[in-house]
Chains A and B, each alone.
Chain A
Amino acid sequence: MEDILKLLGGAAATMLLAFVVGATYGGLVRKIIARTQNRVGPPWYQNFVDISKLYMKDTAVHHGVMQHIGPAFAITASVTVLMFVPVLREGGWFPWFENLNFKGDIIFLIYMMVFGSLGMALGIGQTGNPNASIGVSRGLSMMVGYEIPFVLSLVSVMVQTHTTSITGLMEWQTQNGWLMFEAPFAFITMLLAILGMFHYAPFDIAHAPSEIASGPPSEFGGKYLAMMMTSGSIFAFAKLVFLVDVFMNGASNLVMLVVKTLLLYMVPVLYGAVSPRYRTEQAIRYLWGWPVFFGIIALIYSIYI
């Protein structure tokens, strides 16, 4: 009984950590984008204020059952991904709770990361808003674009280290050095793939502010939007921690974790802050061009090293 309580407590604490760090990063990103545009920008805690206000709003919209389930799918997928990613290198990060981070393997995570978007797409389909449908079709096309370099990069890492488990990868890195340097082409491929993955400009075609209303969430307001923002914060944190685990040997304490994830996060953010928006076919052509080229080189490199 006590073990279960410890596990549940650890899971809740991990979720809280992911939400707080993810939402703070979101606020920082808004600030950074504002500074690049020579503005002052909102305070760093603006995302918390927005989310708490949205949770206090009425939500009297009904389009069908799937519309209500869609945001729940998104948050379920985010939390599941988070639960399978080890936050720190040495087990639990929270002193008196066990961590619920299983020694999950990468192939499962590749599948699980898509689940939230697909659930959202189902929910959005029922709202019948044309802008939202355009957003979904763009988002799923983009997914086809970035998943290929993403998977190529991870497969080459798995071939090189002969393991598919994340903890196994971290053990390998402790002995042989960071995969960032041991598998440089895989890392370059991943850097190019996460440009598309985080949906910042020039790859913000799915949400496309002021082009197709606000894209997929057009018909979702109030609590559902808050749920999506919460899920987005958790998912961003989970993805970043996953990438840090795979390429930078995880982190031994929370400070190092924040430093490493923030450095990695700045790549898509800063690239996005100075970029305009691609069209759908331009985005896919970009993602199937150099990233896939580097991905194939990474695969060849990993076989012959």
Chain B
Amino acid sequence: MDTNDKGVRKIVDMITGFARSNSLFMLAYGTGCGDIEIPPAMTSRYDWERFGYRKMATPRQADVLLISGYLATKTLKRVIRSYEQMQEPKYVVAFGSCTINGGMYWDSYNTIKMLDHYIPVDVYINGCMPRPEAVMSGLFDLQEQIKKGEANGAQKYRENLEWYRGNQKKVIKNWVMPEYNW
């Protein structure tokens, strides 16, 4: 069987898309106030387990990194470590206006303003704070992107690693990490 054949490719893509989009293991990085919206989304009120989402405790097992809120430069370092320890394919979902433009912390001296300059973000959910409905709507968007094969933030990160590294080192002064955290 020719694996590069168009029809075969299409079927394989369909199966991988279905499996990847219907089984999202989340690593919730509770940096800011946004983390309080995750318990209602996963418990009996909104119950995101019915869509196959599941909360994972370690970056090794996770597919999705939820950045819930503002990031101080100190926490950014931990986020980078966690993100690089995740196994591909991996996605990033950013919550709240703080990750988009700094939000209410826009003139703070030690928070970053645009998360997209430091790690690649696949889906932004705006609001301050987004309600659980908004969180789940954002995750549906991510599912659609995965099905279409458009959620390739990890690939972007790998290709532009130098640019991302430069931005990261600009704000993290005491960089004592290895060049890539396996």
Contact = CB atoms under 8 A, between A and B. Distances in A.
**A-B complex is real:** yes
Interface of A: 30, 34, 37-43, 46, 49-50, 52-53, 56-62, 131, 209-210, 213-214, 217-222, 225
A34 B54 CA distance: 12
A37 B43 contact: yes
A30 B49 contact: yes
Contact of B61 (A41, A42, A52, A220): A220
A214 B86 CA distance: 15
- Chain A: interface secondary structure? loop
Given A214-B57, A220-B60, A221-B87, A49 B52 contact: yes
Interface stretch (B16-24, B96-104, B120-128): B16-24
B141 interface: no
Interface in B44-64: 44, 47, 49-50, 52, 54-63
Contacts of B86: 221
Contact of A53 (B23, B57, B88, B182): B23
A39 B44 CA distance: 5
Given A34-B49, A37-B43, A38-B44, A59 B19 contact: no
B50 A214 contact: no
B166 interface: no
Nearest to A38: B44
A34 B22 CA distance: 18
A245 B49 CA distance: 35
A60 B5 CA distance: 28
Contact of A218 (B25, B57, B63): B57
Contacts, number: 88
B149 interface: no
A30 B20 CA distance: 19
B50 A225 contact: no
A62 B87 CA distance: 12
B52 A214 contact: no
Closest 8 CB pairs of A and B: A221-B60, A213-B57, A53-B19, A39-B47, A53-B23, A58-B88, A40-B50, A221-B61
Given A61-B182, A209-B57, A41 B50 contact: yes
Contacts of B62: 221
Contacts of A57: 63, 87-89
A296 B151 CA distance: 60
Contacts of A38: 44
Contact of B52 (A34, A42, A56, A221): A42
Contact of A40 (B16, B19, B47, B60): B47
Interface string B10-41: 00000110111011010000000000000000
Contacts of A221: 58-62, 86-87
A46 B52 contact: yes
Nearest to B42: A39
A53 B44 contact: no
Nearest to A224: B60
Contacts of A30: 49
A41 B58 contact: no
Given A53-B19, A218-B57, A221-B62, 19 more contacts: A34-B49, A34-B50, A38-B44, A39-B50, A40-B50, A42-B50, A46-B52, A50-B52, A53-B20, A53-B23, A60-B88, A131-B58, A209-B57, A213-B57, A214-B61, A217-B61, A219-B58, A221-B60, A221-B61
Contacts of A218: 57-58, 60
Contacts of A62: 182
A61 B87 contact: yes
Given A37-B43, A53-B19, A218-B60, A42 B87 contact: no
Nearest to B62: A221
A61 B85 CA distance: 9
B49 A56 contact: no
